[in-house]
């Protein structure tokens, strides 16, 4: 039987050399398209996240605040598969 191993290896090496030469020529001529930069998308502010941040800033007092306890229960319920009630943004006293 004829062993096709060496002809395949030679074909792969020739293909690799041809691709390398092509890329080098394109780089030198400046014909390569610019690579896309990172796309920055701003997401809308999540009211739940805003309330969580407020509770975080309250420190230990948040552990006794009923609103904060409900805010922290929402992700826990979502994790457990329960549908949480949407949190509406509220006006904060003293701010």
Is residue 11 over pLDDT 50? yes
Please give the pLDDT value at position 84: 53
| Global confidence as pTM | 0.39
Tell me: the pLDDT tens digits for 13-64? 999 999 999 988 888 887 767 777 788 787 788 888 888 899 999 999 999 9
| Residues 52/71, Cβ–Cβ less than 8 Å | yes
Phi, psi of 47 (to 5 degrees): -60, -35
Give, in degrees to the nearest 5, the angle at Cα 68 between 76 and 80. 10
Distance, CA of 78 to CA of 84 (rounded, Å): 6
């Amino acid at each position: 039987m004829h062993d096709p191993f060496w002809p395949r290896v030679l074909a792969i090496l020739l293909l690799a050399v041809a691709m390398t030469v092509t890329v080098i020529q394109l780089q030198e001529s400046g014909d390569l398209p610019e690579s896309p930069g990172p796309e920055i998308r701003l997401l809308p502010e999540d009211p739940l996240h805003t309330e969580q941040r407020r509770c975080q800033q309250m420190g230990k007092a948040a552990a006794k605040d009923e609103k904060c306890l409900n805010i922290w229960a929402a992700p826990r319920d979502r994790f457990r598969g329960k549908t949480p009630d949407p949190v509406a943004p509220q006006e904060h006293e003293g701010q």
